[in-house]
Structure 1
Amino acid sequence: MTTADIYQAFADREARDVSPTYHRLAEAVARDPDLLASLDTLPEAKRQPNLLFGVVRLGGGPVDDPAAFREHVLAHWPDVAAQMRVRATQTNEAGRCAVLLPVLAALPQPLALLEVGASAGLCLYPDRYAYRYGDRRVGDGEPVLDCALAGTTPPDRRPEVVWRAGLDVNPLDVTDPADLAWLDALVWPEHRHRRDRLRAAAAVAAADPPLLVRGDLVDDLPALAARAPAGATLVVFHSSVLYQVPSARRAAFTALVRTLPGHWLANEDPAVLPHAATPEPPDGGFHNVLALDGKPLAWTRGHGQAVTWFG
């Protein structure tokens, strides 16, 4: 897939009807030979639309107008490229807890949660957030995570979590203004509700910080999993992470995680983590597949705004 294809696919699959700003930008980049030539000087894994757009926003560059965006990127390309080389898209969307909750609440309690690709660990608090599935509310507190749920009934409780840990090649700290600014820059421009949610979730994490370990998802996972307390159900989970992992390393991870005790909960693009048989998505938008121990359960939207159970 060429860089132009990547940006056009992002426009069509992910940004359309979700972020008009990023839809316009991605289509403009896909048609711009100068921007594409610049992006092609980067390693393939560093050419992602979200990474480029986030770096430009972090640096105060314009994203509302494609022509101004183009001028800014080309004029500041050495700085933009340097930031893209050292950063990664670490979107820490707490809203994804809403699609994980029906599974987490149904597992034997209490839980020991271990998130792979945890960023700042905001998805490690499904027991602290409140949820709204239509007119059904689960739990109290802030933030309140809204999710359209189809094909199953909302859970009647939140899980009991007695241990929470995250593994990441570059863990972020929500008490560090620079790290929080990067998380904020990764939220899409129109999504003020997600920005508010980020601040509320960051306050939860800052009040009771999780165990965040810098490490590799294959080499360092078994040792961290071994630190989970006895008597708790270990759940190793990840959400929109594996697309950043080379295919051979991805295969090594999926083979390893199946050997660990407890359960494996994945919420990933089916093009990245394929499953043998899934029904058609409920609409033409971008969807991940929620799977427990390799069994696909539901289609989910990328920021946790909807989940459609199979069958």
Structure 2
Amino acid sequence: MGVTAADIYRTFASREASGVSPAYERLALAVSRDAELLALIETLPPAKRQPNLLFAVVRLLGGPVEDAAAFRAHVLANWPAIEAEVLTRATQTNEAGRCAVLLPVLAALPQPIALLEVGASAGLCLYPDRYAYRYDSHLLGDGEPVLDCTLTGSAPPTRVPTVAWRAGLDLNPLDVTDADDVAWLDALIWPEHAHRRARLRAAANVVAADPPLLVRGDLVDDLPALAALAPSGATLVVFHTSVLYQVPAQRRAAFVDLVRRLPGHWIATEDRRVLRHDGLPEPPGEGFHNVLSLDGTPLAWVRGHGQAVTWLG
């Protein structure tokens, strides 16, 4: 028997929402025990059963996500509209805070760099040179927003990267100047995270002032042509954060094979169950951690929204 919707919601509550969003932890646990809601969720294609997708759609449509009973009643009463929206949407969380965990690696590469993000959403993570950073008490850069990150196991970086070119690839690129697209990005932010909503607005202003090249396409079929547009005098850096869990395993393997053969470097920030590495130590403390890797070599455990980095070794 495969993974059930109940399993998915239980795992989301314990691995991802616990200690990060009390509202989504409560909601996911309640859904995991609700036979009627689970039966509806099981009618969706497997890729559309993610808690974050359903919760964000309910938020987008003006429904309640703080109270489990109100959420249940709303979903049962409005399932056709919710289902239609879930089927047309994907989780495209575009968290600028993730630049804080990428920055130490980006700054250490030969400069200038040509940034190419796979699963770029609206492209907010393509501007690590434009934001400011606070690593514990160490300030770096002078832009907005200021991204806070706790570093363990290394000194903070001393410079921001020099970005000569930036481009993104996505099945459905979002536009920060489109109110509907920004509403979806906002809906994907978890209920209690007001600081992330403010960060989204500030980062969207940066992107709107100097839009990147965003290409609608597939991470295997269309990556080589986009990578070929990078200027020859810059170090190509292909990167992605929390994207590969949405890609079927066979396609994921084809992408890894392709990206390893491209010139330049490959930075990944992914769940260790999705992009596997041998011999990893246990992640630090509580909460869900991804693995930050460079060219397939794991470097650090990182929190999902860029709030902490713990370097390996």
Q: TM-score range by the shorter chain?
A: over 0.9
Who is 1:297 aligned against?
A: 299
Q: Which of 81, 103, 106 is matched with 2:105 structurally?
A: 103
Who is 1:141 aligned against?
A: 143
Who is 2:217 aligned against?
A: 215
Moved over 2 A (4+): none
Q: 1:117 and 1:57 mapped to 2: Cα distance?
A: 22
Give 2:115's aligned amino acid: L
Q: 2:165 is paired with a residue of what secondary structure?
A: strand
Who is 1:122 aligned against?
A: 124
Q: 1:104 and 1:4 mapped to 2: Cα distance?
A: 39
Within 5 Å, give how 1:70-81 maps onto structure 2: 70-81=72-83
Q: 1:187 and 1:243 mapped to 2: Cα distance?
A: 18
Per mean C-alpha deviation after superposition, the further-off stretch among 274-283 and 299-308 is 274-283
Who is 1:231 aligned against?
A: 233
Who is 1:93 aligned against?
A: 95
Matched, 1:36 2:28: no
Matched, 1:10 2:8: no
Who is 1:187 aligned against?
A: 189
> Alpha-carbon deviation of 1:277?
1.5
Give 2:262's aligned amino acid: L
Task: Give a deviation string over 1:118-153, Cα, whole Å, max 9, x none.
Answer: 000000000000000011011001000000000011
Q: 2:81 is paired with a residue of what secondary structure?
A: helix
Give 1:229's aligned amino acid: P
Q: 1:162 and 1:179 mapped to 2: Cα distance?
A: 27
Who is 1:56 aligned against?
A: 58
Matched, 1:172 2:174: yes
Who is 1:307 aligned against?
A: 309
Task: Give a deviation string over 1:74-113, Cα, whole Å, max 9, x none.
Answer: 1100110110001000000000000000000000000000
> Alpha-carbon deviation of 1:279?
1.2
Q: Which of 242, 256, 259 is matched with 1:257 structurally?
A: 259
Aligned residues: 311
> Alpha-carbon deviation of 1:284?
3.0
Percent pairwise identity: 76
Q: 2:286 and 2:180 mapped to 1: Cα distance?
A: 36
Matched, 1:206 2:220: no
Matched, 1:160 2:169: no
> Alpha-carbon deviation of 1:306?
0.3
Task: Give a deviation string over 1:235-259, Cα, whole Å, max 9, x none.
Answer: 0000000000011100100010000
Who is 2:279 aligned against?
A: 277
Q: 2:19 and 2:253 mapped to 1: Cα distance?
A: 33
Give 1:20's aligned amino acid: P
Q: What 5-or-longer segments of structure 1 have no aligned partner? A: none
Q: 1:167 is paired with a residue of what secondary structure?
A: strand
Q: What 5-or-longer segments of structure 2 have no aligned partner? A: none
Task: Give a deviation string over 1:53-74, Cα, whole Å, max 9, x none.
Answer: 0000000000111000000001
Q: 1:258 is paired with a residue of what secondary structure?
A: helix
Q: 2:161 and 2:293 mapped to 1: Cα distance?
A: 18
Q: 2:66 and 2:289 mapped to 1: Cα distance?
A: 26
Give 2:20's aligned amino acid: V
